[in-house]
Chains A and B, each alone.
Chain A
Amino acid sequence: MTSVALKGLAGRKLRAFLTAIAIVLGVAMVSGTYVLTDTIKSAFDQIFAGSYKDTAAVITGKSTVEFAQSGSPTVPASVLAKVKALPDVQTATGQIFNLNDSSDYGKLIGRDGKPLGTSGNPTFAFGLDPDIGKLNPMTLTDGRWAAGPREIVIDSSSARQGHFSVGDTIGASVEGPIERYRVVGIAKFGSVDSLGGATIGIFDTRTAQRLLGKQGYDLIAVSARPGVSPARLVGELEPLLPASAQVKTGTEQAEASAKDIAEFTSFIQYFLLAFGVVALFVGAFVIFNTLSITVAQRTRELATLRTLGASRRQVRRSVLVEGLVIGLLASALGLALGVALAKGLSSLMAAMSLDLPKAGTVFEARTVIVSMLLGTIVTLVASIAPAIKATRVPPIAAVREGAALPKGRFASYRTAISLSVVALSMALLGYGLFADGIAAAPRLLSLAVGVLALFVGVALTASKVARPLASALGRPFARLSVSGELARENAMRNPQRTAATAAALMICLALVTMVATLGKGLVASDRDSLRHQVQADYVVTSKNGWDAFSRAAGDAAAAAPGVTVASSVRNEQAKVDGDEVRVDGIDPATIAAVHTYDWISGSNATLGSLGRDGAVVRQKWATSHGVGVGDRIAVLNPAGHRSSYVVRGIYTQPKFGQVDPVFGSIGISQRAFDSAFERPRNAYTFLNVRGGATPETTAALERALAAYPDAKVATRRDWVEERATAIDQLLNLLYVLLALSVVVSLFGMVNTLVLSVFERTREIGMLRAVGMTRRQVRRMIRQEAIVTALIGAALGLPLGVFLAWLVTRALSDQGVSFAVPGGLLVVFVVVAVAAGILAAIAPARRASRLKVLESLAYE
C-alpha cells in the first residue's frame, strides 16, 4: 500500500514538485538563516580566537554602562609599566583595539574623496605598535606595521575596494579633519576576508591615542614566560589593577567577545527565522489545498483500492505517506537551496547597509535537523485533513461516476468551528496586545499564535464568502467576454477550493498590509513629534544620523558664515540607580532657540540656572524614578565615576518621543557634561542661520564640514524626513522577506489551476469543439486566477488594516497614530493581480494546447 502511494507520487513528478515548492522556499529560508548566522558567528569566533591566540592575559577597562558612546573606559597607561615589571610576564603591550564596545572610530577616505565602505558600517581606527609580535591581533598580508605619526596600515578589504597598496597615500579622519598618511602595510584578521564591510585603519599606539584623545589603552595584552599558566598570570596581575580595569585569560577574553556577537547574530537569526515560519505557514495552506484537490481527483483510484480490500487506515496512511515523502524531499531541496539563499541574504543585508563578515560557509548538523523536521512536520500536518477526507471515499465510487463524498462527522459544525477559531484568535490577540504586566515571551507567543489562528479562522470562514466574492469580483470580467463569464463561474463553482487558494495569498497580503499601515502610522507620528521638538534651521549629525560625531565637526559648522545660533548637544549613556539612562550635555544659552521644551515645572529661564550641578529631566523618567524638582540624582558614568545633580526643571514631550527620543531623559549643562564624561562627543549641532535655510547656506555649511567625513548637515525639513522615514528601510526589508511568502502562495495558485485544468480537460475540449479559440481559453484561465487573487486581496487587505489598527490601539500611549496607506494598498492589489496573471501563464498555456479530440475522448 505504501509502495502504491510512493509509485503514485513518482508517476506525478511534476505535480509532486510543484506541491513541494510550497515547502521548499520556507525551509530554504530557515536553513539559509542558520547557515548565514552560523557563518557570521564562526567568522567572529575565528577573529577573536585568532586575536588572543598567543595572549596569556588581557587587561581591559570595566564598563559600567553598555553601549557607551565613549566605549569602554581605558586602562591607565601607568598599569602597563607595573605589568611589565612582573617577573612572570614575558612581554606586555598597550593597544588601542576594541571590536565590541568600540569607540575607536575613524574613516578612511577613498580616491574620490568619499569615505570607504557603506554608510552604516563600523569604521575602526586602531593603535597597534609595530614590535609586538604575536600579541598583535591582526596579521600583515603586505608591508610592515605603522611606526610614527604619518603612517597607517589598512585592512585588505578596504585596500582592495579603494585600490590602495603599500606606498600609496590615503586620507583618514579620526575625531577631526581629514589628514593624509602613507600606507605602509595591509592587514587582516586571520582567514576572515571582510569584517562585514568595516574599514580599519591601524596607526601606532601613540598616534591612535593622540587622534582619539585617549589617555590610556583599550587593552593591555600580556604574554607569560614559559611555564607560567595563564590562570596564574591572571592571579598575579589582578592586584595591580585599579577598580576600573579587569583581567581575563586570552581564551576567556575571546569567549566573552564572541558571546556579545552571538547575541547579535541570534537576534538576526530569530528575525529571519520568523519569515521562514511565515512562508512555511503559507506553504501549509498550499499543501493542504493541493493534496485536497489531488484526493478529490483520485476518488476513483482510492475507491478501487477500497474494493480491492484496502482499509480506511491504509488509505489514510497512503495519503500521509505521500505527504511525508513530499515533506522530506521538499525539506532536503530547501536545505540545499538555503545555502544558496544564505549568499542571497547576505547580499540583501549588504544592500541594507548591514554587511556581515565573510568566512567559510558553516553548515551545522542543527541546520539539517531543524530544516528537515520543520519542513516535514509542516507538510505532514497539512496532509492530515486531506488524508481524513480520503478515508471518506466510499468503495462504490469505483463504479459510479461522480459519487459524492459523504460528509464528515464535523461538517455541520464547520461554521461554528471557524467562528470559534476566529474568536479564540481575538482573545489571544487581545491578551497579547492589551494585557498588563506579562513577560515578553508569553506576550509574543500569544500574539504569534493569535495571528496564525486568525488566519486559519478567516481561511475557514472564507469558503462561505468565496462564492459571493467571486460573483461580485468576477462581474466586470463577465461583462467583458464569455471567457470572463466562464472564469467567474469556475471561480464560484468550488468555493472551498477557491477560498483555500485565495487564503494563501490573503495571509501574505494581510501581513504586508499590516506592515505598511503600521509603517505609515509610525512615520507620521515621528514626523509630528520631531517637528514639534526641533526648530533649528539646520541639524548637523553623524553620517548615519544616530551615532555621535566629533566636537571638532560641530565647531567647524558653527564657525560657518551666516550662522546666528549654534547649539551642540553631547550625549552619553550613564546609569542612575542601576538603570541605564541617556544624559545630554546642552548649551543653556542657546538650546531654547532651537529646541522646544514643554515645561511641566520650570521654564526656558530654568536652563540659564543649570550651572555645574543642575539638571532638567523628562517627566516620564522623573515619575518612574520618583524624582521631583529639588531632588538630587547620582549619575554613574561609563568609567564608573559618580556625579550628582539637582533637578531644576521637568518637561514633557510628544508621546511618540518615547519611541524615537531626540534627547535623553536627563539634560545637564555642557560644561558639567564635559567634566563628567570622558571624551565627550556631539549627538547634534543645531544651527540657526541668517535668512533661514537656502541652497546657498546649505552649500556653505557643507563646505565647512567637507573635512569632517563623520558629520553631515541637513535642513530641518530634510532631517525630519530622513529620520522619520528611516523606518522605511526596515519596511523595505520586511517587504522583501514577505515576498518569499507571496511566491509560495503564487505556486499555490499555479497548483490549483494546473489541477483544475486537468480536471476540466473534457469540458475545455467541449468548449474548444463548440468554437472557443485558444486565446479565449487562455483568457478564461487567466481571469479565473485574477478573480481568485482579488478574493485574496479582498480578504487580506482589510485583515491587515485591522491588525495594524489593533496594534496601534495597543500602542496608543506611545502616540502611534493610525493611517491607512491608500496608495500602497492599491499597489498591493495590483501586485496580487499580477501574481494571478503570472500564476496563470503555464496552466493557461496547457489548457489552450489541449487537443480537442483527445480531450473529448478522455474518459
Chain B
Amino acid sequence: MSQAIAYAEHSAIEALHAPGSPAVVTAAELRRRYGEGDTAVDALRGIDVEIAQGELTAVMGPSGSGKSTLMHLLAGLDRPTAGTVTIDGTEITRLRDAELTRLRRTQVGFVFQFFNLLPMLNVEENILLPLAIAGEKPDKAWVEALMRRVGLDDRRKHRPAELSGGQQQRVAVARALVSRPAVVFADEPTGNLDSRTGTEILDLLSEAVAEFGQTLVMVTHDVRAATIADRILYLADGRIVKDVGASTAAEIVAAVEEVSRS
C-alpha cells in the first residue's frame, strides 16, 4: 500500500514536471442539449478543454452539472449538439459508427461504476475481452504484468460473481488498460465500493498513470478520488468553472462548496 501511495505521489510530481505534454483529448466549444423546445435542457454550454498525455484528470461537480455528459461526449458515447472532440488527433464527433468502433478498440478504455464485467467470463477472459473483440493477440508479458499489478494472479479462473466488489473493479481496470488505449475514462470508479476497497482502486489507477503513463479521465464526486488527480475540472451548469492542479482533500472540499454555491 505504501508503495502504491509512493507511486501516486511520484506520478503527481512527474505530471507537474512535464507541463508540455501533448493533448490526447481535446474538446472545443462543446455543447449538448437534451430534448427540444420548452423542455430542452442544456447539459453543456460550451466546454473547451485539453487533456494532456499521461495526466490523471478528475471531473467534479454537483449533480446535473454536466460532468457525466462531458465524459460521454469525450469518450464518444454520445454526440454533441455543437462543438468537436478530438482523440489522439482524430475528430471523433464526425466519425461513423464503424469508425467509432475501431477507435474504441485502440484508443479508449472504460472503467464503470458498476464494473460491467461479463458474468459468464472468468477474470482472465474478462481482461482479455477487448483484445478478443478486436481480434488481436495478447502481448503475453504485458498481460502477465497487468495481472500481477492488479493482484489477481491467483484468481484468473474465477468468475466475477466469486469476487468482491473491489476485486471486480480491479478486473475492470485491467480490462481498460489491456489494449494500452490513448485514454481511459473512469465513471465514478469508487462509487459502488466501500472506502477501503475504493482506496485500493484509486491506488491502482494512479499507479497506472504513473507507471504506464496512462492518460485517465475520471468523473467522480468522491473527494478522496479527486486527491489522486493531477488536475481537477469543476463543472457547474454545463460550464467549467474551475480548473486546478493536484489538490488536497481540504482544498477539494472547499472548491466543491464554492462551486455548489455559485
Contacts and interface: CB of A to CB of B under 8 A. Distances in A.
A312 B97 contact: yes
Interface in B112-143: 112-114, 116, 118-121, 125, 129-130, 132-134
B175 interface: yes
Taking each of A300, A310, A394, which has the highest tally of chain B beta carbons within 10 Å of its own beta carbon? A310
Given A1-B132, A305-B133, A11 B104 contact: no
A395 interface: yes
Contact of A399 (B104, B112, B118, B130): B112
Contact of B116 (A3, A10, A300): A300
A310 B187 contact: no
A792 B77 CA distance: 41
Interface in B93-125: 97-98, 101-102, 104-106, 108, 110, 112-114, 116, 118-121, 125
B116 A304 contact: yes
A309 B107 CA distance: 10
Interface in A674-708: none
A249 B41 CA distance: 93
Nearest to B119: A11
A395 B133 CA distance: 15
A8 B159 CA distance: 12
B120 A7 contact: yes
B101 A306 contact: yes
Contacts of B120: 4, 7-8, 10-11
A170 B105 CA distance: 87
Contacts of A10: 120
B121 A399 contact: no
A311 B98 contact: yes
A310 B116 CA distance: 15
Given A3-B132, A396-B77, A307 B104 contact: yes
Interface string A308-352: 111110100000000000000000000000000000000000000
A859 to B, nearest CB: 6
A310 to B, nearest CB: 5
Interface range on chain A (Cβ under 8 Å from partner): 20 to 34
A398 interface: yes
B189 to A, nearest CB: 12
B168 to A, nearest CB: 12
Contacts of B104: 306-309, 395
B121 A4 contact: yes
Contacts of A301: 116, 118
Interface string B151-184: 0000000000000000000000001000100000
A599 B48 CA distance: 101
A828 to B, nearest CB: 42
Interface residues of B, number: 32
Contacts of A312: 97-98, 101
Nearest to A394: B77
Contacts of B76: 395
A524 B98 CA distance: 65
A309 B130 contact: yes
A399 B113 CA distance: 8
B14 interface: no
B133 A398 contact: no
Contacts of B114: 859
B78 interface: yes
B242 interface: no
Contacts of B72: 396, 399
Interface string A226-237: 000000000000
Contacts of A307: 75, 77, 104, 108, 110, 116
B103 to A, nearest CB: 8
Interface string A154-178: 0000000000000000000000000
B116 A309 contact: no
Contacts of B116: 300-301, 304, 307, 398
A1 B118 contact: no
Taking each of A3, A7, A304, A309, which has the highest tally of chain B beta carbons within 10 Å of its own beta carbon? A309
A309 B119 contact: no
A4 B110 CA distance: 19
Contacts of B101: 306, 309-312
A322 to B, nearest CB: 12
Contacts of A7: 118, 120-121, 125
Nearest to B192: A859
A221 B78 CA distance: 88
A398 B134 CA distance: 19
A736 B18 CA distance: 81
A308 B114 CA distance: 15
The 3 closest A-B pairs by CB, nearest first: A309-B105, A11-B120, A396-B77
13 contacts: A4-B120, A4-B121, A7-B125, A304-B112, A304-B116, A306-B104, A307-B104, A308-B129, A308-B133, A309-B106, A309-B179, A399-B68, A399-B77
Given A1-B133, A7-B120, A307-B75, 6 more contacts: A8-B118, A305-B133, A306-B104, A307-B108, A312-B97, A398-B116
